[in-house]
């Protein structure tokens, strides 16, 4: 019986998605799921922020290739909010290697690659918090009341202890 609360998570729409004209499609998928966009902008990443963001991969031989790919074109960064949003967005994203990702996931439907896999999504609540702070200033994140939320969730959902 865990209390489920609204979470925020970071998505990056990667250069392969932009180059293939898929940005709108990806944003649409998250919106249709019921995730609320609380921040969105286009930015160009540099080696410094990429070394921080991909700190767990910095020592890998393929890191320079990822850094080049992620910094050569702009990306779209997005903050999404919802109940258990971190896990929900990872499920929608699918596994890292696109050609092995489940059909129906974003990577499963649009990617054949390990590197060009359309989106980044935070992998834990703690990392989501760090990544949102890395890419957004506080004033770029919005608290807004989505009129649809009453249709997306049951009354009181996320406020009580759920019996799951």
With tokens 């009341």, the residue in question is: 145
* Cβ count near 129 (within 10 Å): 16
Picked from ligand UDP, Mg ion, none, the partner binding residue 141 (CB below 5 to 8 A depending on kind) is none
Residue 117 binds what, of Mg ion, ligand UDP, none (CB under 5 to 8 Å, by partner type)? ligand UDP
For Mg ion, the closer of residues 39 and 117 by Cβ is 117
Provide the minimum distance between the beta carbon of 34 and ligand UDP in the complex, in angstroms, as a whole number.
Answer: 22
Catalytic residues: 120
Query: In the range 65-124, which residues lie near Mg ion by CB under 5 A?
Result: 123
How many Å is the Cα radius of gyration of the chain? 16
User: Of these partners, Mg ion, ligand UDP, none, which one is at the site of residue 66 (CB under 5 to 8 Å by kind)?
Assistant: ligand UDP
CB within 8 Å of 119: residues ≥ 6 apart: 11, 12, 13, 14, 17, 26, 93, 106, 107
* Token output for 26: 């990806």
Contact residues: Mg ion, CB under 5 A: 123
């Amino acid at each position: 019986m865990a209390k489920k609360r609204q979470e925020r998570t970071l998505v990056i729409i990667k250069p392969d998605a932009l180059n293939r004209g898929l940005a709108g499609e990806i944003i649409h998928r998250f919106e249709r799921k019921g995730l609320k966009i609380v921040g969105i902008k286009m930015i160009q990443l540099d080696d410094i922020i990429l070394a921080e963001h991909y700190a767990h991969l910095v020592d890998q031989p393929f890191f320079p290739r990822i850094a080049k790919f992620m910094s050569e074109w702009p990306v779209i960064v997005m903050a999404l909010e919802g109940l258990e949003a971190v896990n929900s967005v990872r499920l929608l994203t699918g596994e890292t290697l696109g050609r092995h990702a489940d059909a129906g996931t974003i990577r499963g439907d649009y990617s054949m690659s390990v590197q060009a896999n359309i989106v980044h999504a935070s992998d834990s609540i703690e990392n989501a918090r760090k990544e949102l702070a890395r890419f957004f200033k506080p004033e770029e994140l919005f608290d807004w009341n989505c009129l649809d939320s009453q249709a997306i969730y049951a009354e009181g959902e996320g406020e009580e202890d759920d019996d799951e």
